[in-house]
Structure 1
Amino acid sequence: MGKPRIEEWTQLRGLAFFAIVMQHSIAEYIYRADIEPADSTMLTMMYHLTRFGTPTFVFLSAVLMFYNYSGRLHYFAFIRKRLETVYVPFLCWTFIYWLYVRVFTPSFWQKGGQDWGSLLRELVAPQTGYQLWFIIMIIQFYLFFPLLAALYRQARSGFELLEGRTRTRGVFALLAVTGACYIALLYVSYYRMGSWAANLGEPWAALLEYRSYSFLMYGFYFVLGAVCAASIANWRSWCTKLLPWSGLVFLGMYIRLGYDVLRRSGETVNLNISTYLKPSTFIIIVAQMLLLYGLLILLRERNKACLRLLSWIGTYSFGGYLVHALVIYVIAYFTRPLYLAGSHLSVTLLTFVLTVVASLGISYTLSHMPGGRWIVGAGRNRLRRGGAKNGDVRADSRAYLSANNR
C-alpha cells in the first residue's frame, strides 16, 4: 500500500507476545496442588506485569487496519484477504489442537473417533486451542471494518478542519467520552452480566456467557488504534510526554490489582479476579500500553540491537501465537507428573523461555515454506515486504479459566 513501516508497532507486538507466553506459562503452574505460597505470590506478581498482552494486540490490529486502509477499499477483496491470512490458519490450528488433545484421550479411539461434533464446537468457542478465541473476535472487527473505516475517515476530516490546540482538545475529549462509556460497559459486564446470564434463557444466556468473544467488548482499544493511526507524530509525542504519569498510574494499579487478587482468593489464587473485562484492569492495561510505547520511542536511537530483536520477534509473533499453546501442552506432558513444590517459579520461567524459542522457531520455519501463509498467516515474500499479520492470545489461563473471564 506504499506506506512506510512503523517499527515501534512491530516491536510493541514483540513485547505483547512475550507477555502472552508468560501469562500462559504462569497459568500452567499456578493452579497445581503442590505449589507453595511464596511461588504462588511471585507468579501472581509476574502475571500482573503482563496484563497488557492481548489488549495490545487488539490495539495493534486496529492501528494497522486504519493506517493501511485509510482510503476506500473493496469490501470482498479485503475480506477474502483477511480470511486467507487469518481465518484459514485458525481452521488449521483448531484441528491440530483438537486432534492433539484427543490423541491422549483413549476413550476417543475406543469409540472409533465418534467425537467430531466437538470439533465443530471448537470453531465457535475454542477450548483446546484456548488462545484461538482471539481469531473469532478479530474476524468480527474485519467484517465491520469497512463501516468503521468510513466513520474513521469522516471523523478525521472533521478534526482536520480544527486548529491545532482545538483539535488536540477534541481528540482528548473523544478519548475521555469513549473511555468513560467503555468503563461503564466493563462495570456492567464484570458486576452484573454474570447474574443476568443465570436468569436468562437461550440464546441470550450464551451470548452473555461468551461476551468476551465479542469485538464490542474491546471497543476502546479500537478507538485508541484509530487515534494513533490518524496522527502518528502526535501519538508519539503524547506517549513520551505522559511517561511519568503513565508510569505512576501503572505502579499504583499494579499494587492495587496484586493486593486485590491475593485478598479475594482462597487457598488457590484466582487470576480471573483481574480479568480483562474489569474496570481496574482496563486502567492498568492502558497505562502500561502508553508507558511501553513511550519507552520504545525514547530508546529507538539508543539500543538498536535490542529493538531489532524485538522487531524480528514481532514479525513472527502471529505464527508464534498460533503454536505457543501447543508447545506448552508438550512441556506440560512431562512436567505435570512431577512433584514441583518449591520450584514452580523456576519451572515457569524455564517453560516461558523454551516456549518462546520453540514457538518463534516453528513460526519462522513454517513462514519460509511454500504455503506458509495458510498455516502461520504470512509467507516468506510477505514478510520481506513488511511483516506478518498481527494476532493475539487469551491471557488469563488454560481452557478451564473461561467462565469468569467473559
Structure 2
Amino acid sequence: MGKSRIEEWTQLRGLAFMAIVMQHSIAEYIYRADIQPADSIMLTMIYHLTRFGTPTFVFLSAVLMFYKYGEGVRYFPFIRKRFESVYVPFLFWTLIYWLYVHVFTPQFWQIGGRDWGSLLRELFIPQIGYQLWFIIMIVQFYIFFPIMAVIYRSVRSRLEPLNEKRRNQSVLAIIAVTGILYMMLLYLSYYQMGSWSEKLGNPWSEMIQYRSYSFLMYGFYFVMGAVCAANIEKWRTWCMKLLPWSGLVFLGMYIKMGYDVIRGSGEVVNLNISTYLKPSTFIIIVAQMLLLYGLLMLLQPHSRKFTRLLAWMGRYSFGGYLVHALVIYAIAYITRPLDLGGYHMLFTLLTFILTVLASLGISYTLSHVPSLSWTVGAGRRKPRQGTSQESEFRKEAPALR
C-alpha cells in the first residue's frame, strides 16, 4: 500500500502554476516602450502577489521526495525514474523551443547555417525556453537527495525519543538556524556576489553569474519540505495558527517591496529588484507560502468546487509549465506589433487567462495520448485508491531573474 494522498499539495501546485504564468505574462508587457505609468504600477503590484511560485515548487518537490522516499531509497532506480519523468521531457521541450526560434530564420536552411552550439547551450543554460532553467536546478536536488535522506532519517531518529515540547523546540530551532544561514547566503548573493563575479576569472565568474541555477540557492525550501513531510498534521496546525501573523508579515513586506521597486526604478520598472535571491523577497515568500497553506486548510470543507479545480490544475501543471512560455510566444507574435498604450494591464490579464487555459489543455491532451504522455512527465494516470500519485514536478522560471 502506498502512502495516502495529500490533497493540499496538489492544490498548492495549481496556485503556484497560476502565479508563474502571471509572472511571465507581466514580463511580456511591462517593459514595452508604450506602457503608461498607471499600468506599470498596477502590474508591479500584481507581480509581488506571485513571488511564491518557484519557491513553492521547490518546497513541493522536497516534501514529496521526503514523504515518499525519506525512509529509504535505492539510488539508481530513483534517478532513472526522475530522469524519465523530468529530464526527458526537458530535452524534448528544449528542442521544441530551439526549433521555434531557428526554423523561421533563413540562415537555418542554408548549408552550415544550423547553430547546433546554441542548442547545446540551451541544455545547460536555457534562455529561449526561459522557464526550463528550473529543471536544471531541481535535477541537482534529485542527484543529492539520497544524501539528504540519510540526514533526514538521522535527525528524525534523534527527535523521536523526545517529548512533544522538546521536539517542537528542536524543530523550530532547526528552522530558525537554517533560516538565518539562508538569509546570510541571500545577502551575499544580492549585495556581494556581483562584485565577486567581476573580479574572479572563469569558471568562478560564470558559476556566480548563473548561481540561480544552483539548488543550493534554494536550500531553505528543501528544509521546509523535510519538516512538513516529517509531521504533516503538525505542519497543518502550525500554518493555521500562524495565519494572522503570516498575513501581517506578508502585507508589510508586500508594501515594502512595491515601494522599493518603484523607488529604485527609472522610467522603466525594474522587477529584478525583487529577485528571489534577495533577503526581503525571501521573507515575503515564506510568509505567503504559510498563509496560502493555512488558507487551503480552512477551505477544504467549505469550497470543494474551488479546491477540486485547483487540484485538477495541479495534476496537469507540469506539462502546462513546460509549454506555457511557447503559448506566450504565440500570443506575443500577435500583440507585439500593436500599439497598446493604456491597455497593457488588460492585455496582461487576457494573456494570463489564455495561457493558463491553453497550457493546461495541451498538457491534458498530451497526457491522454499514450505515445506522447512522456512529453509531460511520463503520463498522468488516474491515481489508485489509497496511493500517492503526486508528480514530483517543479515549476516556474523568472524571466526576470
TM-score bracket relative to the smaller structure: over 0.9
Corresponding residue number in structure 1 for 2:23: 23
Answer whether contact 2:86 2:393 (CA < 8 A) is retained: no
Instruction: Find the counterpart in structure 2 of residue 257 from structure 1.
Output: 257
Match of 1:246? 246
Contact in 1 for aligned 2:88/2:375 (Cα 8 Å): yes
1:221 aligns with 2:224: no
Q: Distance in 1 between matches of 2:313 and 2:119?
A: 31
CA shift for structure 1 position 374: 2.1
Please name the residue that 1:4 is paired with: 4
d(CA) in 1 for partners of 2:295 and 2:371?
37
Alpha-carbon deviation of 1:210?
0.5
Task: Specify the alignment match of 1:119 in structure 2.
Answer: 119
The residue that corresponds to 2:95 in the other structure is: 95
Q: Deviations over 1:342-364 (max 9, x none)?
A: 00000000000000000000000
Following superposition, the deviation at residue 372 of structure 1 comes to: 3.5
CA 1:142/1:49 → structure 2, altered by over 3 Å: closer, same or farther? same
**1:13, 1:390 within 8 Å by CA — same for their partners in 2?**
no
The alignment status of 1:144 with 2:144, answered yes or no, reads yes
Match of 1:48 in 2: 48
What's the TM-score once normalised by structure 1's chain length? 0.96
The question of 1:331 aligning with 2:334 is answered no
Partner of 2:293: 293
Assess if the C-alpha contact under 8 Å between 2:94 and 2:129 holds in 1.
Answer: yes
Matched-pair contact (CA < 8 Å) for 1:378–1:388 = no
Please give the secondary structure, in 2, of the residue aligned with 1:352: helix
The share of aligned pairs that are identical, in percent, is 72
Q: Please, which moves more after superposition, 289-298 or 71-80?
A: 71-80
Say whether 1:185 aligns with 2:185.
Answer: yes
Residue 113 of structure 1, CA deviation: 3.4
- What is the CA–CA distance in structure 1 between the aligned matches of 2:390 and 2:155, rounded to whole Å? 29
SS at match of 2:10: helix
1:275 lines up with 2:246 in the alignment: no
The code of the aligned residue for 2:193 comes to M
The answer to whether the aligner puts 1:76 opposite 2:76 as a matched pair is yes
Instruction: State the alpha-carbon separation in 1 of the partners of residues 131 and 87 from structure 2.
Output: 14
**Cα deviation code 1:94-115 (max 9, x no counterpart):** 0000110113333333465320
For residue 194 of structure 1, what is the aligned residue in structure 2? 194
The Cα shift of 1:293 comes to: 0.0
Quote the offset at 1:378 in angstroms.
3.3
C-alpha separation between the residues in 2 aligned to 1:161 and 1:338? Answer: 66
Distance in 1 separating the partners of 2:203 and 2:277 = 21
Q: 1:64–1:366: structure 2 CA closer, same or farther, 3 Å change rule?
A: same
The match for 1:393 is 396
Q: Kindly state the Cα deviation for residue 40 of structure 1 after the two structures are TM-superposed.
A: 0.4
Amino acid at match of 1:193: M
Q: 1:69-114 CA distances to partner (integer Å, 9 max, x unpaired)?
A: 1222110000000000000000000000011011333333346532
Distance 1:76 1:186 in 2: 33
Q: Distance in 2 between matches of 1:373 and 1:84?
A: 11
What is the CA distance between 1:370 and its match in structure 2? 1.1
Alignment match, 1:367: 367
Query: Greater shift after overlay, 66-75 or 232-241?
Result: 66-75
1:129 alignment partner AA: G
For 1:292 and 1:68, how far apart are their aligned partners in 2?
Answer: 23
> Can you list the C-alpha shifts for 1:270-329, whole angstroms capped at 9, x where unaligned?
100000000000000000000000000011000001000000000000000000000000
Q: Matches of residues 299-310 of structure 1 in structure 2 within 5 Å?
A: 299-310=299-310
SS of match in other structure, 1:323: helix
Could you tell me which runs of 5 or more consecutive residues in structure 2 were left unpaired when the two chains were aligned.
none
CA distance in 2, matches of 1:362, 1:88: 18
Aligned partners of 2:63 and 2:225 also within 8 Å:
yes
- 2:167 is matched with 167
- 2 CA distance for matches of 1:106 and 1:64? 46
Q: Which amino acid in 2 is paired with 1:390?
A: F
Cα distance in 2 between the residues matched to 1:113 and 1:60? 42
Q: Which residue of 2 aligns with 1:157?
A: 157
Q: CA offsets, 1:218-250, max 9 Å, x none?
A: 000000000000000000000000000000000
Instruction: Say yes or no: does 1:346 pair with 2:346.
Output: yes
What is the alpha-carbon distance in structure 2 between the residues aligned to residue 96 and residue 53 of structure 1? 24
Q: What residue in structure 2 maps to residue 377 of structure 1? A: 377
Work out the number of aligned pairs and report it. Answer: 398
Looking at structure 2, the residues matched to 220 and 57 of structure 1 have their Cα atoms a distance apart, in angstroms, of 13
CA distance in 1, matches of 2:97, 2:133: 13
Measure how far apart 1:387 and its partner are: 4.2
Which residue is 1:235 aligned to? 235
Does the aligned pair in 2 maintain the 1:243–1:290 contact within 8 Å?
yes
Measure the CA separation in 2 of the matches of 1:308 and 1:269: 37
Preserved CA contact (<8 Å) 1:10 1:315: yes
Contact persistence 1:85–1:373 (CA under 8 A): no
Instruction: Give the gaps of 5 or more residues in structure 1.
Output: none
